[in-house]
Amino acid sequence: MKTKDYIKVSFPSLSSNEGFARSCVACFAARLDPTLDELSDIKTAVSEAVTNCIVHAYPGEIGTIHMRCRIIDDKTIEVSLRDTGVGIEDVDKAREPLFTTGDPCERAGMGFSIMESFMGKVKVRSKPGKGTTVVMRKTLDGRK
């Protein structure tokens, strides 16, 4: 699939930047003329991915989150978030619902499940000590 357009942005892993990432992706996705539900789905998935970086990739410190959005064809958007944090020891286990490396009283362990339910495709690559990349793709029906 050929990229038609893209943006790249990097920002500190501060909780205040979660809303920035959502807005950035929403503005970029708007050119595909998504429905409000589709736009909400994309924003929710991005929120979960950014929150994972903030909470799990850089526990107790501030790191950098790299986000890339690209339009693949007239209906498909791909959002990639990459960190250089602690990485994930067992990606399959981390993708299980209710699994969390954080405090189970504070974290539901549903981040990847939510991303998967709102986006058509989610890929996760990670190396312990090197970081994690989450690539989410959604094909839009758009407004009719």
**Domain parsing of the chain, residue ranges:** 5-139
Would you call 98 helix, strand, or coil by DSSP? coil
Q: In the annotation, is 48 catalytic?
A: yes
Would you call 88 helix, strand, or coil by DSSP? coil
Q: CA torsion sign, 24 to 27 to 32 to 37?
A: positive
pLDDT value of residue 23 = 96
Q: What is the CA radius of gyration of the chain?
A: 15
Q: How far apart are CA 116 and CA 96, in angstroms?
A: 11
Task: Give the pLDDT band (50/70/90) at residue 113.
Answer: confident
Please give the helix or strand (H or E) that residue 8 lies within, else none: strand 5-12
Q: In the annotation, is 52 catalytic?
A: yes
17, 18, 52, 78: the active-site residue:
52
120 with 138: CB under 8 angstroms? yes
Please give the helix or strand (H or E) that residue 70 lies within, else none: strand 64-71
Q: How far apart are CA 28 and CA 96, in angstroms?
A: 30
Q: In the annotation, is 107 catalytic?
A: yes
Per-residue model confidence as pLDDT tens digits over 37-91: 999 999 999 999 999 999 889 988 999 999 999 999 889 999 999 999 999 887 7
What pTM did the predictor assign?
0.86
Top-level CATH class of 5-139? Answer: alpha beta
